């Protein structure tokens, strides 16, 4: 199986790549930092199982994301699994190349474009799967189109929550659209994980949080099952959690909100499709 993982050079992405390579899979690491991607590829290749490739992907730019998707399509022709894993937490206001708030742009909109561009590639596989990393943090978010570009006061937790709610709503909308097709589509909350995403938090906060965190191997096991396990062959539109309750907020259950966001997002990425 050919499996593409975004942000696979560290954290949950790397742990998932490791488990998949040990299964003998062909894993494609889609990463922004070439040096870190190379280091990850070397570590995974040393396992002497599976195949490990690297492609350059910068979700901070829709134009570069478009180029990466075209390169993936040309290079591989088909994909069996797309794992939308890359994510960041930004405690200060940052904007993407196209002027979107960075957490919304990288965690969600870049992945939205990448997925749209790769659906035809996934359709070349007899049974393909798309997996989105959402988060319990979606509870603190809501979808506010006037904040997609971070106007006004910047509350980093709201913006992180908005991006993760958007991931989950995208999964729900896509599951509805792909129902009955050869592609299944599901989302997960990885749980409280000891990964790099919290590196921006103040040290005392991170130290306290670390006590309740699980290793990256825990969500990686769930993602690996979702990517390759027989039990997930026909499951579509689900949201599960690695080690915590998988409760959805009322926003996350709102299918009309999911459809509306999908249409707004198509308008935002239209010229890059």
Any catalytic annotation for residue 160? yes
Nearest to 114 by CA among 158, 79, 165: 79
- From 160, 198, 239, 262, the catalytic residue: 160
Active site members: 160
């Amino acid at each position: 199986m050919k499996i593409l993982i975004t942000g696979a050079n560290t954290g949950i992405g790397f742990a998932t790549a490791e488990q998949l390579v040990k299964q003998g899979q062909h894993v494609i690491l889609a990463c922004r930092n070439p040096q870190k991607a190379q280091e990850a590829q070397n570590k995974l290749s040393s396992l002497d199982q599976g195949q490990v490739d690297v492609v350059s992907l910068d979700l901070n730019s829709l134009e570069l994301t478009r180029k990466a998707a075209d390169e993936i399509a040309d290079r591989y022709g088909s994909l069996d699994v797309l794992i939308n894993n890359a994510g960041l937490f930004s405690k200060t206001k940052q904007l993407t190349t196209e002027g979107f708030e960075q957490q919304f742009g990288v965690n969600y909109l870049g992945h939205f474009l990448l997925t749209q561009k790769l659906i035809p590639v996934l359709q070349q596989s007899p049974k393909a799967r798309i997996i989105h990393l959402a988060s319990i943090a979606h509870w603190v978010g809501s979808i506010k189109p006037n904040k997609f570009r971070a106007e006004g006061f910047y509350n980093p937790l709201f913006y992180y929550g908005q991006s993760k709610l958007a991931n989950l709503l995208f999964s729900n909308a896509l599951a509805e659209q792909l129902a009955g097709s050869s592609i299944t589509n599901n989302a997960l909350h990885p749980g409280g994980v000891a990964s790099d995403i919290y590196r921006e938090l103040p040290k005392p906060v991170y130290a306290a949080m670390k006590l309740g965190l699980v290793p990256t191997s825990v969500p990686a096991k769930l993602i690996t099952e979702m990517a390759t396990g027989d039990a997930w062959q026909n499951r579509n539109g689900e949201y599960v959690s690695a080690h915590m309750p998988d409760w959805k907020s009322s926003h996350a259950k709102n299918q009309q909100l999911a459809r509306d966001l999908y249409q707004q997002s198509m308008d935002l990425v239209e010229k890059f499709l």
